[in-house]
Structure 1
Amino acid sequence: MPYTAERPVARESSVALRARIPGWGVDLDPADRPSVPRERFDPAGTGARWRFPERQEVQGPRERSIEHAQLPPVFGTAVPLRGLSGAIRRLAYRRFSEARAVHWLLLILGDRVDALGSHVRSFATLRPDNPITQTGVLSEVRRRGFSSRFGRGRADVRHQWMDPLIVAGPWVLAAAVVAVVVRGVARRR
């Protein structure tokens, strides 16, 4: 509305709005608000028979954020930390707050180190990782990967040139290292 010399129109009152718009202001009265029972503190209304829940038994050292004085009553124990990736994750929890980016970057680094260790360990098994099938390269050819990327306004088109470097780069680098090592061993013989 443009500014004019006339006095602005007064806002309608709550009573007028309620009369004109069905359901307007339904939550103004706290008695009518559906969330009001949750806003009131009523320990007897929850059915809880404890002041603080029983604590899960801690077996071995656990990671906890430096913001918290103790572990929560229940916590996950699916994947215990081990090796270099575990040391990186422990460092993230021991030294840095969850509010700092370095905490999360260290956790991501620990995850990447763990993934690399899993790839290396897979070569010692009868079924090593297969980068061709596990990276989805074949589906790019079979499932119209090229035509789905262009002319559709996708945001990932800008950085898709990096995808082969990120996905295939470590495999190519590992193959080059193995080739250099094998060549060096062959020359010594």
Structure 2
Amino acid sequence: MPYTAHKPGPTPDPDALRARIPGWGADLDPSDRPAFPREQPGIETGAHWDLPEQQPGGQGRERSVEHNRLTPVFGTAQPLHGVAGAIRRLAYARYSEGQTPHWMLLILGDRVESAGAHLRSFVSSRPDDPITQSGVLGERGRGPVSSRFGRGRADLNHTWIDPLLIVGPWVVSAVVAVKLGRALFLPASKRRAVPAPRR
């Protein structure tokens, strides 16, 4: 029994395990392991280095706190930038990859970058369309309700929250845009007056 403080019993004999579990111990004999020769010291690999040469330009690159140095080779195609990049740098600089905040910050950085991409699309010639790009129109005529029930679909348990996750950000963005528009373009005299507090 795993995850208990007490050992469940004596360790079975390898012959007993082999008799009980088909294929158990198949890799015990080195001659049965295809990679075995490569596991031996002194094998010529063709590499001219013990450690690859360090790629230049690594200053400021993100590196997990549990690593002493940057990997010898790293990607440069998508450098971190903006608010999303600052969030991701914080995740790498402060938290280990084994900690939940590390991954939650990376997810937050993704969401911030996604929101920024949506906002930038509105000033482009092809703005995002939440209706067609969500794929919701693809279900017309294909039994959108009947296909979800009685078939053991794994995604049925989160169907209720999908509209909130898909439509929610658009509603919040619209509310923020209207409030900003009113604050910037509506004269102060036409804005709704806030009543003074009673004494």
Equivalent residue for 1:62? 61
Cα distance in structure 2, aligned partners of 1:38 and 1:30: 11
Is 2:134 the partner of 1:135?
A: yes
Deviation at 1:96, TM superposition (A): 0.4
User: Which residue type is aligned with residue 119 of structure 2?
Assistant: V
Contact 1:27 1:33 in 2 (8 A): yes
Equivalent residue for 1:4? none
SS at match of 1:145: coil
Contact 2:58 2:70 in 1 (8 A): no
User: Which residue type is aligned with residue 89 of structure 1?
Assistant: R
User: Which residue type is aligned with residue 38 of structure 1?
Assistant: R
Q: TM-score, normalised by structure 2?
A: 0.74
Deviation at 1:186, TM superposition (A): 4.4
SS at match of 2:38: helix
> Within 5 Å, which residues of 2 pair with 1:48-87?
48-58=47-57, 60-87=59-86
Q: TM-score, normalised by structure 1?
A: 0.78
Equivalent residue for 2:30? 30
Equivalent residue for 2:46? 47
Deviation at 1:126, TM superposition (A): 1.6
Equivalent residue for 1:117? 116
Cα distance in structure 1, aligned partners of 2:37 and 2:101: 41
Structure 2 residues not aligned, in runs of 5+ = 1-12, 191-199
Identical columns (%):
56
Structure 1 residues not aligned, in runs of 5+ = 1-10
Name the CA shift for 1:52/1:181 in 2 (closer, same or farther; >3 Å): closer
Cα distance in structure 2, aligned partners of 1:77 and 1:28: 43
SS at match of 2:77: coil
SS at match of 2:47: coil
Name the CA shift for 1:138/1:26 in 2 (closer, same or farther; >3 Å): closer
Name the CA shift for 1:25/1:62 in 2 (closer, same or farther; >3 Å): closer
Contact 1:140 1:146 in 2 (8 A): no
Is 2:52 the partner of 1:89?
A: no
Cα distance in structure 1, aligned partners of 2:154 and 2:104: 24
Cα distance in structure 2, aligned partners of 1:125 and 1:31: 63
Q: Map Cα deviations across residues 78-105 of structure 1 (whole Å, 9 max, x no partner).
A: 2111111111000000000011011011
SS at match of 2:113: helix
